Structure formats: C-alpha cells, structure tokens
Amino acid sequence: MPAHTIEFNVPDMTCGHCVSAVTKAIKAEDPHATVAVSLADKRVTVETTEAREVLVASLTEAGYTPA
C-alpha cells in the first residue's frame, strides 16, 4: 500500500506525555510513519502505509479517542 496522509483530532490529548504516547502508539503499527502533532489544535497528522482503522485501534488501545 502506498504512503498516504491521515489526520486525527484527538480531543483528550492534553500534554507532552500524551503527545509521546500517541506517537509511540502510531509508531508501534508503522515504525516508518512520519508523525506530526499539534497539541494546541489537538491534531495528529500521519504519513503512513497503514490503514486508518489500524491506527484508530492502536490509539484507542493507548487510551485516546481519535476522531
């Protein structure tokens, strides 16, 4: 699958630890993903080859509610 960009709103991401946990959850599914996080906007942008559903499941398992 070719790389594509996925954006998530993560309203329960509130601090630097959250940013780290979200990034780690995404990298666990795709170690080569590029992850950009805007804590102020509560937005995560990912360049990945994984399906959106896979990343949603990983973020949910990590305790976040991606939209």
Q: Which tens digit of pLDDT belongs to each residue from 44-66?
A: 999 999 999 999 999 999 999 99
| High-pLDDT (> 90) share of the chain, % | 97
Whether residue 1 has pLDDT greater than 80: no
Whether residue 12 has pLDDT greater than 90: yes
Is 67 within a domain?
no
Is 52 within a domain?
yes
Whether residue 32 has pLDDT greater than 90: yes
The answer to whether the Cα torsion of 6, 7, 10, 15 is positive or negative is positive
Domain with 45 in it: what CATH number? 3.30.70.100
Is 39 within a domain?
yes
Could you tell me the residue range of the domain that residue 47 belongs to?
A: 4-61
Computed over every residue of the chain, the mean pLDDT equals 96
Q: Which amino acid is at 56?
A: V
| Nearest to 65, CA basis, from 25, 36, 34 | 25
* Residue 2 CA to its chain's centroid (Å): 18
Is 23 within a domain?
yes
Strand, coil or helix: 34:
strand
Around Cβ 59, how many Cβ atoms within 10 Å? 21
Is 66 within a domain?
no
* Total of domains in the chain: 1
Q: What is the pTM of this model?
A: 0.93
